């Protein structure tokens, strides 16, 4: 008998079916779980989701490993994902059906220049959530040095799997899963980086009010809204 007699080949389709059964069991024990289930061939389709996934390619230190988790996320191996300020937690099903815990810590944005740039362009949370931004502002988000997406030196990766690699396929799967999650709720990216979106909206409203008041000194307009009324309008 050779060592190969102990190995039974499983296709990705078989692994996917096994993971789906495992997920059903997992959800019974964890009813609040938020699995990432991809439909179609693309991990993300929105501006925010695609931009996040594209940004992962900038992690040059892991350029030969970052794609290892793509098949995991596409085949439903990410059983749970939570995103909070500075923290991403994920549960990933391994190829042997064992579950692994992934933790990704991301530094919050402390440089107020980006916050100020954002604040001058956002009119409402609805506009923000729909990703309707001027092209110049979108380019600001994508810059490597001061953008909204974290640089490699702002991120710390952890997984309890036995893989020696710092960027294992489970970590990679969770990173891509964040992009899929942003398709559903782009505001999670702002929360992840520690940016108060409500404060941004209020700042934008206040700036527009100042412009209106300045214009009122030279011309009277029936379109000017009282300060309290416009704050109420945006429920701030």
pLDDT digits (tens, 9 = 90+) for 168-204: 999 999 999 999 999 888 889 989 998 877 776 666 6
pLDDT surpassing 50 at residue 11: yes
pLDDT category at 35 given cuts 50, 70, 90 is: very high
First-residue to last-residue Cα distance in the chain: 72
Of 145, 178, 214, 160, the closest CA to residue 51 belongs to 178
Of 181, 171, 174, the closest CA to residue 65 belongs to 171
The three-state DSSP-derived secondary structure of 101-161 is EEEEEECCCCCHHHHHHHHCCCCCHHHHHCCCCCHHHHHHHHCCCCCCCCCHHHEEEEECC
pLDDT category at 123 given cuts 50, 70, 90 is: low
pLDDT surpassing 80 at residue 129: no
Residues in CB range of 102: below 8 A, 6 or more apart: 88, 89, 90, 91, 92, 157, 158, 159, 170, 171, 173, 174
Of 141, 168, 194, the closest CA to residue 64 belongs to 168
Angle formed by the axes of helices 135-142 and 47-55, nearest 10°:
30
**Mean pLDDT of the region 216-226:** 50
Query: Token pair for residue 126?
Result: 């609805």
pLDDT at res. 68: 83
| 156 vs 67, residue with greater confidence | 156
Say if CB 175 and CB 150 are below 8 A apart.
no
pLDDT at res. 6: 53
Query: Token pair for residue 100?
Result: 């692994």
Task: Tell me which of 39-43, 45-49, 62-66, 217-221 is least confident.
Answer: 217-221
pLDDT at res. 122: 65
Q: How far apart are CA 183 and CA 156, in angstroms?
A: 23
User: Average pLDDT over the chain, rounded to whole?
Assistant: 79
Measured at the alpha carbon of residue 91, what is the angle toward residues 63 and 76, in degrees to the nearest 5?
75
Pairing of strands 155-159, 99-106: antiparallel
Phi, psi of 92 (to 5 degrees): -125, 135
**Mean pLDDT of the region 65-71:** 85
| 236 vs 97, residue with greater confidence | 97
| 87 vs 234, residue with greater confidence | 87
Task: Tell me which of 9-13, 83-87, 106-110, 120-124 is least confident.
Answer: 120-124
Question: Which string of b and e fits 83-92 if b means at least 16 CB within 10 Å?
Answer: beebebebbb
Torsion angle of the four alpha carbons 10, 162, 55, 80, in this order, in degrees rounded to the nearest 10: 70
Phi, psi of 157 (to 5 degrees): -110, 140
Of 85, 90, 98, 80, the closest CA to residue 29 belongs to 80
pTM above 0.85, yes or no: no
């Amino acid at each position: 008998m050779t060592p190969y007699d102990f190995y039974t080949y499983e296709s990705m389709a078989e692994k996917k079916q096994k993971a789906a059964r495992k997920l059903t069991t997992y959800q019974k024990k964890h009813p609040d779980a938020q699995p990432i289930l991809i439909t179609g061939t693309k991990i993300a389709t929105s501006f925010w989701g695609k931009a996040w996934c594209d940004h992962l390619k900038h992690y040059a230190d892991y350029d030969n490993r970052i794609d290892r988790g793509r098949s995991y996320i596409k085949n439903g191996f990410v059983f749970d994902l939570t995103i909070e300020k500075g923290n991403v937690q994920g549960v990933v099903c391994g190829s042997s059906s064992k579950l692994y815990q992934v933790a990704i810590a991301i530094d919050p944005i402390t440089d107020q220049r980006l916050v100020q740039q954002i604040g001058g362009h956002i009119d409402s949370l609805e506009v923000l959530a729909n990703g309707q931004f001027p092209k110049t502002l979108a380019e600001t988000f994508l810059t490597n040095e001061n953008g909204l997406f974290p640089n490699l030196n702002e991120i710390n990766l952890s997984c309890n799997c036995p893989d020696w690699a710092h960027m294992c396929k489970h970590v990679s799967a969770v990173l891509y899963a964040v992009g899929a999650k942003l398709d559903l709720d782009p505001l999670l990216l702002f929360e992840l980086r520690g940016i108060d979106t409500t404060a941004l909206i209020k700042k934008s409203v206040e700036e527009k009010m100042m412009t209106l008041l300045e214009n009122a000194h030279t011309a009277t307009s029936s379109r000017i809204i009282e300060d309290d009324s416009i704050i109420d309008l945006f429920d701030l």
